[in-house]
Amino acid sequence: MALSVPQDILDALTDVAMPRLGSEPDAVETLVVNSYSIPLHRSGAVVVGSGAAGLRAAVEMKRRGVDVAILSQSAWGGTSACSGSDKQTLHTANTKDQGDDFLDMAAAIGAGGAMDEDTAYIEAVGSIRAMASLQYLGLPLPQDHLGGTLRYQTDHDEVGRATSCGPRTSRLMVKVLAEEAIRLGIPFFNLTTVVKVLKDGDRVCGVLAIRSKDSTALNPYGLTIYACSALVLAAGGPGELYRDSVFPNGCFGTLGLALESGLELTNITESQFGIGTRREGFPWNLSGTYVQVIPHIYSVDRDGTEHHFLADYYRTTQEMASNIFRKGYQWPFHASRMLDFQSSLIDLAIFREGQAGRRVFMDFNRNPLAIDQDFSLDRLDDDVASYLRNAGADHALPIDRLRHMNPLAIELYKRYKVEITTEPLEFAVNHQHMNGGIAVDIWGRSNVPGVYAVGEAAGTHGATRPGGSALNAGQVFGTRVAEHVGAVGAPVWAGDVTQAAADAVQDLQAVLSSDSPLSVKAVRSEVQARMSDKAGILCTAADVADALGDARGLNAKIKQYGITASRPSEVGRTVQWQQMALASEAVLGALDTYIAQGGGSRGARAICDPQGDALPQTARGPIANARFRAEREADKQQQLIVWFDEDDQLVVSARANREHDGARSFFERDWPGWLTGDIYQSQDENLHS
């Protein structure tokens, strides 16, 4: 029997209304730069991005007396507000049945490798504070009758530290943080696209942005300058980098912007790919209960014929059904899970169906078709049977199991006119998260003084990570950044930014052209196709090397000819696609270096190699062209750092992960460091070399 949850409760957790923004403060100065008359705003700190991480940084800075402003390309339009799946979880460190430990949690967060040990420990310790403060702001995290946080197991999490308000958890986080930002009176500039970082010597002094509402005859592009002492980049990941993506449309992130500004990136070879609905409709990850209810998965060819294609990959109905279930908490593709008939063999099968021109669906009104014998809830692997039994999900059909276990999953798609109670759901393997990003230290500082990064913009996640730890990382480091900015000070920038603005405008004008052979549409199509086709879940050394050469060629053409902007309102997108082309070259350059140095397969991709030591098997035999290199243990102990040198040449180098020795603090010894502010002086001043 399905759980009875009143419709008004389902509606409240699905239709999350966001707060209305107040009026924006007017600029009090105007700067004349290269014949443009540009409004100038001044503040102590600027946060770029209005997702959960950026709002946390802004709120915490304001509480510490910092004059801070928020700039957003589209308020409530980013990943935190619009996406879900692993974004729906927030980790807790105190509710494991046997008791938990910060060091244990840190080890779990960093278990995938290529992650700094001190960062993982910071995220573990900070998770308690992040959760409690969100609850204080009104986030309705579920509890039992004794006040314990309800939790469950998610991907790369063998303990069960995740909790959730349902598929809109991250949107609810954005809501409560936005309401707090509004209550604190933080200026919020919406429809504002940051295109250049301004620097005074080596340190930041502001940003150049584009706002259509500031467009005038003397400022046709709507250029606006925000001068500041501290800049926090929190604009998320490069969702537009891939054609096959589950990101909301228009998510560009700041990787290209960062590279142009001299910032170093780390781990940009590392992403997450997994099954989700296509972005042409309603993009959403199909993890959790969507697959734990074990729907029938099939493909349809161009003639409309259905194919029970998983029967070609798994040996028994029980093996197939149990691994469909496991996609719920093993959602991201992982090369090693293609072996031994594990759950990522499903990703490989779906990917290959797409390559063959077939469309893939899941049907919640049918149980999986038989391979050797009919599907039965009585014939499932022990871990799967135990979970469904404990959940009380013994219903005859997947849709009834879903209605019982997670009715919000049904409500969510219904809001976008997709009725999964009656219609099959089309899906594919998509790019979902960039685990790498801007390289930062233990306080979220980049290598450029005054510039910080938090959330998906920061490269803190390592090669793989437990689901939901990205949300936790954004909250923890949003607070850490605010603590550091508050401690070292961020006075309203009072200096002259004319020369920095002139340099930025000149760079902007070099990108824009009225007669370039390159259009925004052409650059977009080329970048996205190259990344999805050559740098998806299966890639080869030759394909990546060829793709890198093509990416370099595209950037050379952009530098020579610019990109055609047919009208002033297209300028922001034009610059973003120029920067995305730069980010694409950086990702491919790092990946090419990693492969050339013998790097193996891990979370993001399988590095296919005829000489590889790992060969996926199926019920029909091995898949020769999916033979891949296994991951090397040594690669887990380091990260690849990427930047452009003074000659605009991409540089890729390696550095060892920072360690955490597990030494215990001692009150009398360590208290003075807190009192004097010495704790804010990082011991790793030479950050990334």
Q: Which residues pair with 200 in a beta bridge?
A: 203
Structural tokens at position 189: 């500039």
* Claim to verify: residue 413 and residue 521 sit in the same structural domain: no
Structural tokens at position 147: 């006040």
> Can you give the three-state secondary structure of 432-459, one letter per residue?
EEECCEECCCCCCECCCCCEEECHHHEC
* Claim to verify: residue 425 and residue 280 sit in the same structural domain: yes
Taking residue 521's Cβ as centre, other Cβ atoms within 10 Å add up to 10
DSSP at 598 = T
Structural tokens at position 661: 């020795």
Task: Confirm whether 186 is domain-assigned.
Answer: no
Q: What is the pLDDT of residue 113?
A: 93
Instruction: Dump pLDDT digits (tens) for 479-496.
Output: 999 999 999 999 999 999
* Dihedral sign from CA coordinates of 665, 668, 671, 676: negative
* Claim to verify: residue 365 and residue 511 sit in the same structural domain: no
| Longest CA–CA separation in the chain, Å | 76
Give the structural domain span for 411. Answer: 274-326+337-429
Q: Are strands 306-307 and 296-300 parallel, antiparallel or unpaired?
A: antiparallel
Domain endpoint, select from 385, 412, 429: 429
* Claim to verify: residue 287 and residue 425 sit in the same structural domain: yes
Pair 427, 275: CB distance under 8 Å? yes
Task: Confirm whether 385 is domain-assigned.
Answer: yes
SS3 574: helix
Task: Confirm whether 542 is domain-assigned.
Answer: yes
* Claim to verify: residue 304 and residue 411 sit in the same structural domain: yes
Using CA atoms, how far residue 381 sits from 326, 337, 384, 674, in Å, is 10, 17, 5, 52
Task: Confirm whether 491 is domain-assigned.
Answer: no
Domain endpoint, select from 429, 447, 475: 429
Q: What is the pLDDT of residue 90?
A: 53
Using CA atoms, how far residue 511 sits from 139, 205, 224, 575, in Å, is 43, 22, 18, 7
* Claim to verify: residue 416 and residue 508 sit in the same structural domain: no
* Claim to verify: residue 421 and residue 513 sit in the same structural domain: no
Task: Confirm whether 134 is domain-assigned.
Answer: no
Task: Confirm whether 630 is domain-assigned.
Answer: yes
* Claim to verify: residue 297 and residue 421 sit in the same structural domain: yes
Measured between alpha carbons, how far is 113 from 110 in angstroms, rounded to an integer? 6
Structural tokens at position 638: 């380091």
Taking residue 622's Cβ as centre, other Cβ atoms within 10 Å add up to 11
- 536's enclosing H/E stretch is none
Stretches where the chain sits below pLDDT 70 are 1-4, 83-100, 155-156, 682-689
* Claim to verify: residue 378 and residue 511 sit in the same structural domain: no
Pair 248, 77: CB distance under 8 Å? yes
Q: Are strands 638-644 and 621-622 parallel, antiparallel or unpaired?
A: unpaired
Structural tokens at position 533: 């086709």
In the chain, the number of structural domains is 2
**Residue type (1 letter), 203:** R
* Claim to verify: residue 421 and residue 528 sit in the same structural domain: no
Task: Confirm whether 3 is domain-assigned.
Answer: no
Pick from 518, 531, 632: nearest CA to 586: 531
pTM of the model: 0.94
Residue owning tokens 């194919």: 307
Residue owning tokens 């909301």: 248
Q: What is the pLDDT of residue 665?
A: 84
| Main-chain dihedrals φ then ψ at residue 319, nearest 5 degrees | -65, -45
Domain endpoint, select from 412, 429, 446: 429
SS3 601: strand
* Claim to verify: residue 385 and residue 506 sit in the same structural domain: no
Helices (H), 110-260: 117-137, 169-183, 255-260
* Claim to verify: residue 508 and residue 588 sit in the same structural domain: yes
Q: What is the pLDDT of residue 194?
A: 98
Q: What is the pLDDT of residue 362?
A: 97
Task: Confirm whether 594 is domain-assigned.
Answer: yes
In degrees, rounded to 5, the angle at the alpha carbon of residue 574 between the alpha carbons of residues 572 and 580 is 105
Q: What is the pLDDT of residue 514?
A: 86
- Cα(first)–Cα(last) distance of the chain, in Å? 60
**Residue type (1 letter), 285:** N
Q: What is the pLDDT of residue 59?
A: 98
Which residues, including other chains, have CB under 8 Å from residue 564's CB and lie 6 or more apart? 513, 514, 515, 516, 518, 519, 520, 574
Query: CATH number, domain at 556?
Result: 1.20.58.100
